[in-house]
Every structure is written in C-alpha cells, then in structure tokens.
Amino acid sequence: MRNIYLPICILLLFASSSYAQNTRNYSLQPGTKSWRTNPDDETVDPSGTGDYTDTYYGAPSGAMTNWNSGQYTFNSGPRNGTTITVFGEGHLQYDVDASTKDGDPSTRPDKMNYRLMFPLDYVHREPSDPDFYEYPMIVMLHGAGERAHCWRSCYDENDDPKYKNNDHNLSHGGRQHRDAVIRADGLKAEDAGLHPRAFPGFVFFPQAQSGWIGNQRDHAIRIIELLTDSLNIDKNRIYVHGLSNGGFGSWKILDRRPDLFAAALPMSATIPAHDINYEKVAHIPIWTFQGGRDDSPSPNQTRTIVSNFEAEGGIIRYTEYPTLRHGTWNTAYGEDEFFSWMLKQNKANIHVYFGDSTICTTSNQGVRLGVSSGFDAYEWEKDGMIMTDSIDHDIYAFESGTYRVRYRRESTDDWNRWSDPVTLTERTPIVPTITANSSTILPDINNADTVILQAPSGHAVYDWYKDGVSLGAAYADSTTIEVTESGVYSVVVSNVDACPSLPSNTLDVVFNGSAVISAPTTPVALPASSTSINVFWTDNSDNETGFEIYRSTTAGGPYVLLTVASADAIGHVDSNLIPNTTYYYVIRAINNQGGSPFTSEVNTVTNADSDAPDAPANLEVTSNTINSISLRWSHTTDRSGISGYEIFGGPNIESVSYPDSVITITGLTINTYYNFNVVAIDLAGNRSTPSSQVTGSTFFGGLTYEHSTDAYDVLPNFNNIEPEFTGTINNFSLAPRTQDDFYNFRFDGFIFVPTNGTYTFYTTSDDGSALYINPNDDSNAYDPNINNALVDNDGLHGMEEQSGSIFLTAGGHPITVTFFERTRGAGLEVRYEGPGITKRLIPDEALISGEIVNILPPTAPNSLLATSRPSEFSIDVGWNHDTPASVQTEIYRGTSSGGPYEVVHTSNLGELTFVDTELEPSVTYYYVARSINTDGESDFSTEVSATVIGDGVPPSQPTDLTVLTIGPTSVGLSWSPSTDNVGVSGYTIYDNGVEIGSTSGRLSSNGRSGSKSNLRTLASTPATSILIADLTEDTEYNFSVVAQDPAGNTSPNSETVTTTTTGGTPLPVEFIEFKASIASKGVWLTWATGSEVNNDFFTVERSVNSIDFTSIGKVNGAGDSFDRIDYEFLDRTPIRTATYRIKQTDRNGDYDYSKPIIVTFNVENKIQLYPNPTDRGEFTLKGLVDGSDQPITVKLLDYIGREYISRSYEVDEFSRGVEISYNSGVPAGIYVVLVNQGSEVIQKKLVIK
C-alpha cells in the first residue's frame, strides 16, 4: 500500500524554533527615547543620556500627528482592575554595561521607539484564569517618510528636538487603527455582533530610524516577542502590514520570521520581484495593494510578484486602484474587509497550496498541505487517526479524507491547538473544448490555407498535440495555434498547480483531402424575419460528420463560415442579420478526410422592417460645466436591433452608436438653458418618436476639485498632475482629503461679483496655497515658478495669510485655488472683499458662473380625452392648453393604470390632437400628457383611458404548404403567407396524433376548435418556413399550418402534406452494400441487395460535381426477392474523380436513389482494406501506392494520434495482400490506417468492433 502523504523535507531540527529571535539582554522601557538633554532644550545629545518624553497630540512636548494619538501612550499601571507593566509609548533597550556607551549609535542602549494601542477592554490574565483570553495583534510598518529622523528632510542631520522622538510613525494608519479598536466596543473577534470594520486587539507601530533594513526588522521582531511574552497576545493571530518602504519591510520580515505572522498586507511595496523568497512564505495569506499610476513600484512589478507567489502555491489577493499613484494606503484602510479579512487568518490553520483541496486524478499528484516551518515538532492527523510517520510542516496527501495538524513552538511548550479540518476530495477533471476560427477542411471556399485553433483562456499551461504528439514548450502559454499541416489536434491544459486536464475534443485539420462525400443538393434560403433566414438543403451523403454553412453579403464571396451543422442536418437558422439585406449561402458536407464539392450559391433578402423602435426612456442630465452638458438614457428595444441614437438640442445634432447611452454635448454657451431629446434608430433605419424632453443649463455653481497624495515642500505645477481623486464640493474645504498629511488640492469654479470694481482675495493656509482669477488655459497657468497667481501663499508654514487685488467687471469669473499639505497641522480659508462686500469667507452663493435667471415651465395640458374609433384599431387623443401656440405636447401611453408609461408622440406647436394607430384589439390603453417648450417641462396631466374595439376576423388559410427537405429526424417546410385585417402574428404547425409538443398558438374557442382537436402542436413561428426537429426516423407525418392574429383568431387549416422521415429502409430495395474498386479497364461498381419488392431495374449514374448526374448504364433487377443478390457494372470510360449512385426504378415507374460514392481513378486509390468494420483481430491491405519499389510502411493510429501498430512490407508482398493482426488490447473504435511509400501517404478509416 502506497503512502497517502509525503514529507516535503527530511531534515529534522531537534532544537528550539529555528527562527526564534535573540531577546536576551533586551527589555521594553517606558517613553520614547530622544537625543536631547531635556524636553525644552534643542541640544542634541549623541551620548544617549537625554530624557524619555511623551510625544503625542496634546502633550507638552508636541507631536507630529494632527489628531489625538493619546490612545497609543498608556505607560503601565492599573488597567481595568489589573496591573500592566508594558508601555503603550516605549522603546526597546539593549541592557549592556554602561562602559560600552561610547556615543557610537550601534552601541547605544535605545534601539527602537514604538507605539502600542491596547484593546479597550484589556484585562491581563494568567492562563490558569477561567476568563483567560488572547487577543490578536496588528504590526504596522510605516513608510520611509515617517522614519524617526525624517520629516522635513530625509537627507540632512536634523537638530529638531523631536529628532528620533516623535509619533510620526502614526501619521498613516494610526487614526484608522485607533478607530477600528474603538469600534470593537468590548466585543471579541469571535463575537457575531462585531462591527465588520472593528479590530478587537492590539495595534503595534514600531518606528525605524533609517528604513526597514535588517537590524531594524530584527528590533521590531524582538519587541513582538517581548510583547507576546508579557501580554495576552494570541501568537496564532499576529498580522503585519506596511506601506511603501514598510511594504518592503512586510515582505522582508515574513522572510525573516515566517513562523511569526498569520497574514500580511503590503501596500505600494517597493521591493523587486526577485527579492522575495516565495517558497519560504507561500503558506502565508497575502493581500497586496497597488496604485495603477505608481511607477515605484509599477503595476507590472507587483503583478509579477503576484504571479510568482501564485506559482509557488500561495494565496494572494491583489487590489489595484487605477487612478492612484503611490499613496494607496488610505484607500486600502477604507476597504470594507481590511480588518475582518485579517481576523479570518489563523497561524494554526493548514495552508492548502494553490487553494485547491481536490486531488488531481489525471496525474495522481497529491494535494500539498502545510503550515510554517521552524517549529519544534509537528503532528498530522487523517480522519481522526494520527499519521505517525508524518512529522514535517508540509505533506502531500494522495487520498481523500479530513486532515488536521498541530505543532509545538518550543520543546518546552504545550502543543498548539489543532488546526481547523481540511477535507480533501477527488477532483473532477475538466475537459477543455477547442474551436476553429474557420473551416478545418482546407482550402475552404475562400481558398484559405491556414486555420487558427482556440483553447479556453485562463489556464497557466497549454500542451498542444498533433496526431497524439506534443508540439512542445513553444506553445505552452498559447491559447491559440495557427495550423498549416494536416493532422488531428487537441490540447491538454493545466493551472498553476500543474494538474492536467483530460484531453480536449479533437479537431481534424485536412489539407487537400481525398474524402468520398456526396455534395448536398437543392439548397434553399428563405427569409424567416427581418433579422433571420432559414437555410435548407438535401443530405446526399451517409459518411459526413457535418455540414459547413458559409455566408456572404456579395455574390461570389468572400464568405464567412457561419457554423458546422451536425451530421444528417438538413437546415439552419441564420440569425442577427440586417433587415432588407441580401445574403448569399453555399454549403458542403465534411468529414475527417475532407469535404464534398460546394453547393451552388443561393440567396434571399431578409424581410423589411418598417416598425419604429420604442422611444428611449429615462433621459436625464447627469452633470454640466459652463460649456457642456452630459446626458444619459435607457436603451430601448426593437425587433431588428438598435444601431444608435441621435441627440437633439445642442448646437449640432449629435449621434452615438449602440450600445452607448451617454453623451457630453460640448460647445455650449455659458449661463444658458438647453432642451434635449433623443431619437433611437434601428438597423433598418427606422426612427423612434423623440424621447421625453429634459432641460439642462450651463450655469455652474460650487467647485470641482482634484486631489492627489504626494510629498511636496512647495506647490507643484498642477498642469502636470493627473489627479487620483476628483469630485464636486460647495466651497473650499479640505474635507475630501484621503489622508492627513502629504496631499494636495486644486479647486476650480467661478466667483460672481455684482458690480465693477477692485476686489481683494485672501488665502489663509497651512501649508502652501495660491489663488488665481481668470487664469490662462495653458501649460504654465499653475506653474509656481512662473508665478501667475493673484495670491501667492506658497511654502511650508502654519496658518498664514496672503492677499492680492484685481479689478473685475460684474459677473462670473473663473477662480482656482491650489493647496498642499506636508505634515502636522493643515488648513485652508479663502476670503474676499470689494465694493459693497466687507472682508469675509467667500459664501457658497458667490461661487456661481452667473446670476441665475429663473425660468417658468409651461402649464400642463387640460381636458385630456381618449376615444376609441368604432371601426379601426385606433384611439383618438385630444387635449386643450391655455396657450397652445407656445407649447408642444408629449403623449405617454401605458397598458396599466398609473403606468409605467412610454412617450408615443410629440406634437407640433399648437397641435391639440393625435391618433394612436395599430393598437392591439380589445386592449385598454391609459394616457397622460405634458407640455414642453424652451422654458422646460410641465407637470403631467390627469390620466384617461380607452379600449380598442375587438377583432373577430380570422386570418386567411395558409396555402402552398411544401416539404422542402427531409432528414432522419427533421423536415423543412414552407408555405405562402396568410392575410389578416390586423396582421398575422404567427403560424403554428400541427401533426395528427397525440399532443406531445408545446401548446403555443393553440386555437381559441371560436367554433373551429373541434376540427383540430386531434392535432398536436409541433412548433410556432412568425415566418413562412420552418425546420422542424426532434422527429422520429422512418416515420410518416401529416403536416398542416394554422395562422394566428394578435386577437387570438386562427385561420382554417392549410392543406395537409404527408411525408416520411428518412432512416430504416426508405427504398423498396434493401441495399446491403455499394462499393467501387479500381480495375485495369476502368472502375468496377458492385452492390448487393438483401430484399427487393417490385424492382424493375437499376440505372448507374455518374457526376463530375456531385450535383448533376447522367446515366452511364442499366442493370435489370430481380423483381421480388428476399435473398441476397449481387450486382456489378464496369465503367469502361472512367474520369479522374467521379460521384456514382444507383437509381432504382419500380415496375410502376417510382424511383429512388442509393447513397452516392466518390471514386478517384488514379494509383493512390488502388489500396484495398477489408474487412471493414472488423472484429476478427486482423485486417487485410493490398494494392499499390506510388508505383515505386520503395518499402511500404503501415501504421494504425487512433483519432488522437496514439500509435498501436507500425510495420514495413516489400512492394510485391503488399501488392498481393498482407494480413495485419492486432492484439486484444486495441479497444473498439474508429482508427486511421496510414500507408506510406516514399513521399506518398494514403489514409484509410478502419472501424474495429
């Protein structure tokens, strides 16, 4: 019995955790360490004897954050009734002899400052306490810009008192994590009512001095281990994330201690893809974040990391923000699952590599299961039984079952809890499907000599095969291959877990094949609707695998392969066509050896479509500027499809193509009202009623803003910035900011001044700002180096005011304010003063493009009336209006009281009536109306209704019912259309017998149902031709057709036509076989009958194109016989390629035909293979190949190219005949016999039973 698992490693470490960090001689001390002598002295003390001080928002010594970071400053003592000796604001100290403190930073005792937030309900308990509980912890690694001695400048020595003693590491994420801890509100991670954005645990912010290089990561790890030793922290739920350089640190700290962390969330991680040890960390869940416009790292760089991680079997979640650059973190913190995703990850649980818990049955490879390496001992369990020989952190499991694992961190520790169970099952292998972009029987009707084969996308590896032989690594990542050689093609796909699929379907590609297939005949194309055509043909072959149907819009091509219909098919419905358009078709039969000749070309024209589309609905204004208005509407419907829309109301008629349903109308005049409507145009060119009118304006109020994150010391050139965030706002405000530091804004709008005069504008800001009035619209408009600003308040400073004055004329003027914030405090205030205006903050009502002129919409129509016409299927709609000459009226119609309604008519000015025509009989319609003009739209009128008269007139009887073509299970029918006073809505086809089909189009109780009570419904159609499928072979059917109109009236039955599907024994003569062989004097044709009834004679017919046949001989029949009778005929004047068939004629003159065969009179076809089919374990081959004396090789292949036999024979031996045996291991099926001599290859099909 094989093992059900395999250990990944055989090296056992009999020691404590191989990753454990050395914490000896280290301790956690209160306060953050500075290099100054006291809080009020800016003197830096390199010897390290300075004070430890509080640095948080509101503390006497100040802080780098501009929000209250006091929750990170707990400095031991009583907490919730227990005493805690670990500090929220502290540092890691190296406890060495004082004599080593020589001023060298590498020997200084203070190694790393940190901040730690406790769970608000934290009570320290010992493991023996029944209420003992361990909390999760987040480790947050800040970016390079937040390191201890870098905020104004990262490159110069900094003598600020806060040097190495600040809470700058909390700048990004500190507030969000604080709020998440507060949101927990006393609940634990396991509690069902926990807020989804809460984190009920510890949050640890270490602070690196010079980025997350080696010793800085080690110090952070030391603090983590000291914290877990001192506090109730769950070692199975420690999560690390970081931004920018901290994202780099997140990957590196995982590599340093993969045993320590349950998950990681790198954000904008500046790490090369090659600098990650993927195998070492693949078992750790990752969620990584990337800015789409970031160039360090670029999206491709992070995507490469994702691909490499997945290739090692890791589970990584990738989120890319398309508009963001480097600053992804605040958006990431805002993800609904940011905190809850972490809480779902647990170090104790099994990592299923590649995320697939199914065992690959196609390769017998197991499922890799694992947890972190580096622990003292591991114990695995399957189905409740200990797996005694599995003692490593990873195993391969080969059998279904439920697995668990546990580990012991140190030799003196208790076992960790058992993991959650993982249940493995056997995988159902996928079977990919390959398709061809054109015919695989080449050349095709267009003389194409290549074909593209397509496999399903989304797989990691593609193994393409030709004749059962892999095409190799050159195609390993190709979903497509271009084929230029005959062969049987297939593909096997696999994903990153390397589990292969089953082989796909095979496609036989044949170049210049020698197939013996009769061409289909009597092709017919008939319109089925304005967008579809029924194509029919007669099936004359019995060895086809399908029928290729080609279409063109011009006579003679070029053609497009529409589809390959199945074997025995006799028709196809071609859909999604253009109304009133001529289409051309040709058809051929195909099999795995080639194709038949093509049919003659047939054509027809799709029905014309005179019905207009419905009017577009829900037209609305979505936004506006001073020179543009954006519109949106809902798509409408039409029987032939919508081609596009035209939009009216702007300076020009605009248009969009389907499926667009939005547009921005540009080139408009500022402070102007516009009225818009939209017209739909269908594929036939019919135009809808205009949509409802909507009114928009180019008055602009409020501001637009552009906001991005980045670090600046002065205002950037906003012309060169592609914003990360955009929006609108009522007034100048920093509220839309996405983070508290390192960001900028640009606000654009208009300032309206009531009179001419000189106006003074002020900005008060922290940090820099600038204000522009009537700025130039060029690339230098906002370049601070050129200084076009009216108010220049640039630079790093606190809340500082600057001003500038300008003469303005009354009206609206463009105004732009730019702003940036680096760190700490932030603010922006914009004021103005001028004639009649004292200095004040600019109010909302002044930020407008012009003085808005209120317009008064028209009044609603009154006296709306709807009246049904007594002798027409129409309704008269009339109304009144107070000033009819000044308005148009929109008429809306619905079929339910209260709506929904759709607009069906827009009147001309002054028009007060409308006739609604072509309505459904006996239906009640409901109407409302509203007035429109250039001043807008009125309210709706009251609703009125009317009922259309009934219709008791049935359609006329369908005539000329004709059987177009017959197959084993299908029949094609056509007929002449019926007429009706309203219009025919469709036809139903019936057959005598018990009802087994749908009842669509069943007859109404109008006195005629009795005559049709014995009919069954076969199909319903609006066309006058149909392909009826799913019939029974060799069965007689009696077809009739009934027409229906919209009122449900039905016509009399058409005349009945009787036909019998093919199959069984359709001829009075039972043909057993029909063969052809090459003789020295011509072509011998032989056939045999098993029975004959009233048979007079046989006529031998020949064709050069498989369509037009001529008689070449006659053989008398036996009359009546129930024994085998053999017949033969010699064609003494053969042609190179001919199609033969036997016409059998009865004594009463009735006749029918055998299936045709095609014969090529050349040396290549002098190969005989018999018996075929065979079940004897052998078959015989004899004949000539190319006439040379070279040896002849014979191979037996299955249809995916696997070889079962390969033998060689001398020419004389082969010409006399060779018996080739095969063993019982060859399964039943269809095989290919390849006979090769020199450069000539002959392919024969062999059926083994």
Give the pLDDT confidence of 613-646 residue by residue, as tens digits. 999 999 999 999 999 999 999 999 888 899 999 9
- Single out the residue of 34, 30, 29, 90 nearest to residue 62, CA to CA: 34
pLDDT of residue 20: 53
Better-predicted residue by pLDDT, 368 or 1187: 368
**Are residues 1155 and 1171 both part of a single domain?**
no
| Cα angle for residues 920, 926, 927 (degrees, 5° grid) | 115
Better-predicted residue by pLDDT, 1158 or 862: 862
1188 pLDDT band, cuts 50/70/90, is low
Average pLDDT, the chain: 86
Burial class of residue 1102 (count of CB atoms within 10 Å of its CB; 0-12, 13-18, 19+): buried
pTM of the shown model: 0.66
**Are residues 1148 and 1172 both part of a single domain?**
no
pLDDT of residue 383: 96
pLDDT one-digit tens code per residue, 1093-1120: 888 999 999 887 667 788 999 999 988 8
Q: Are 976 and 1024 in contact (CB under 8 A)?
A: yes
Better-predicted residue by pLDDT, 1108 or 56: 1108
Q: What CATH code is carried by the domain that includes residue 55?
A: 3.40.50
pLDDT of residue 992: 79
Lowest mean pLDDT among 5-14, 280-289, 701-710: 5-14
pLDDT of residue 101: 40
Both structure tokens of 120: 């608000």
Residue 1060, pLDDT above cutoff 80: yes
Lowest mean pLDDT among 80-94, 188-202, 505-519, 1026-1040: 80-94
Whole-angstrom distance, CA of residue 122 vs CA of residue 78:
11
pLDDT one-digit tens code per residue, 1062-1096: 874 445 677 777 888 876 667 889 988 877 888 89
In a domain, 468, yes or no: yes
Contacts 24+ apart (CB under 8 A), 1032-1037: 1032/969, 1032/1061, 1033/968, 1033/969, 1033/1061, 1033/1062, 1033/1063, 1033/1064, 1034/968, 1034/1060, 1034/1061, 1034/1062, 1034/1063, 1034/1064, 1034/1065, 1034/1066, 1035/1060, 1035/1061, 1036/1060, 1037/971, 1037/991, 1037/1061
Helix, strand, coil fractions of the chain, as percent rounded to 5: 10, 40, 50
Whole-angstrom distance, CA of residue 579 vs CA of residue 559:
19
Q: Could you tell me where the DSSP H helices lie in 448-554?
A: none
pLDDT of residue 2: 34
**Are residues 460 and 405 both part of a single domain?**
no
Residue 750, pLDDT above cutoff 90: yes
pLDDT of residue 719: 84
Residue 924's CB is within 10 A of a number of other CB atoms, namely 15
The conformation of residue 363, written as its DSSP 8-state character, comes to: T
pLDDT of residue 1166: 61
995 pLDDT band, cuts 50/70/90, is very low
Residue 774, pLDDT above cutoff 50: yes
- Please say whether the dihedral angle defined by the alpha carbons of residues 26, 32, 36 and 37, taken in this order, is positive or negative: negative
Whole-angstrom distance, CA of residue 537 vs CA of residue 602:
11
Q: Which of 511, 532, 564 is a domain's end point?
A: 511
In a domain, 853, yes or no: no
Please state the rounded mean pLDDT for residues 934-957: 95
pLDDT of residue 153: 47
The DSSP bridge partners found for residue 32 are 53
Residue 1136, pLDDT above cutoff 70: no
Lowest mean pLDDT among 33-47, 52-66, 708-722, 897-911: 33-47
**Are residues 357 and 233 both part of a single domain?**
no
Lowest mean pLDDT among 131-145, 478-492, 549-563, 1145-1159: 1145-1159
Whole-angstrom distance, CA of residue 692 vs CA of residue 676:
8
In a domain, 612, yes or no: no
Residue 1171, pLDDT above cutoff 60: yes
pLDDT of residue 63: 65
Residue 160, pLDDT above cutoff 60: no
Q: In which residue are the tokens 């003063």 written? A: 833
In a domain, 331, yes or no: no
Total tally of structural domains belonging to the chain: 10
**Are residues 546 and 471 both part of a single domain?**
no
Whole-angstrom distance, CA of residue 869 vs CA of residue 906:
21
376 pLDDT band, cuts 50/70/90, is very high
**Are residues 92 and 198 both part of a single domain?**
yes
pLDDT one-digit tens code per residue, 227-251: 999 999 999 999 999 999 999 999 9
Residue 706, pLDDT above cutoff 60: yes
Percentage of the chain with pLDDT > 70? Answer: 86
5 pLDDT band, cuts 50/70/90, is very low
**Are residues 461 and 564 both part of a single domain?**
no
Residue 780's CB is within 10 A of a number of other CB atoms, namely 12
Residue 41, pLDDT above cutoff 90: no
pLDDT of residue 996: 28
**Are residues 363 and 485 both part of a single domain?**
no
Contacts 24+ apart (CB under 8 A), 253-256: 253/139, 253/141, 253/212, 253/217, 253/220, 253/221, 254/280, 254/281, 254/284, 255/280, 255/281, 256/19, 256/217, 256/218, 256/221
**Are residues 546 and 686 both part of a single domain?**
no
- Single out the residue of 1068, 1080, 1064, 1048 nearest to residue 1166, CA to CA: 1080
Burial readout 219-247 (b: 16 or more C-beta within 10 A, e: otherwise): bbbbbbbbbbeebbbbbbbbbbbbbbbbb
- Single out the residue of 701, 704, 716, 831 nearest to residue 764, CA to CA: 831
pLDDT of residue 163: 55
pLDDT of residue 220: 95
In a domain, 926, yes or no: yes
Q: What CATH code is carried by the domain that includes residue 1007?
A: 2.60.40.10
Burial readout 862-890 (b: 16 or more C-beta within 10 A, e: otherwise): eebebebbeeebbbebbbebeebeebbbb
In a domain, 996, yes or no: yes
Better-predicted residue by pLDDT, 253 or 365: 253
Whole-angstrom distance, CA of residue 1088 vs CA of residue 1143:
14
149 pLDDT band, cuts 50/70/90, is low
Both structure tokens of 1053: 């039955």
104 pLDDT band, cuts 50/70/90, is very low
pLDDT of residue 664: 96
Please state the rounded mean pLDDT for residues 254-278: 95
Lowest mean pLDDT among 296-310, 377-391, 1233-1247: 1233-1247
890 pLDDT band, cuts 50/70/90, is very high
Both structure tokens of 917: 């025509």
In a domain, 728, yes or no: yes
**Are residues 1147 and 1207 both part of a single domain?**
no
16 pLDDT band, cuts 50/70/90, is very low
Whole-angstrom distance, CA of residue 407 vs CA of residue 258:
14
pLDDT of residue 352: 96
3-state secondary structure of 776: coil
Distances (CA, A) of 439 to 69, 351, 486, 1209: 71, 47, 13, 36
Better-predicted residue by pLDDT, 1240 or 1145: 1145
Q: Which of 811, 846, 881 is a domain's end point?
A: 846
**Are residues 627 and 680 both part of a single domain?**
yes
Residue 1234, pLDDT above cutoff 80: yes
Q: What is the DSSP string of 927-988?
A: EEEEEEETTEE------EEEEPPP--PPPPPPEEEEEEEE-SS-EEEEEEPP--SS---EEE
The DSSP bridge partners found for residue 662 are 632
Q: Does a cis peptide bond (omega within 30 degrees of 0) precede residue 659?
A: yes
**Are residues 788 and 669 both part of a single domain?**
no
Phi, psi (rounded to 5 degrees) for 546: 175, 180
Whole-angstrom distance, CA of residue 350 vs CA of residue 418:
10
pLDDT of residue 147: 78
- Single out the residue of 184, 499, 255 nearest to residue 359, CA to CA: 499
In a domain, 296, yes or no: no
Q: Which of 605, 626, 653 is a domain's end point?
A: 605
Structural domain containing residue 547:
521-605
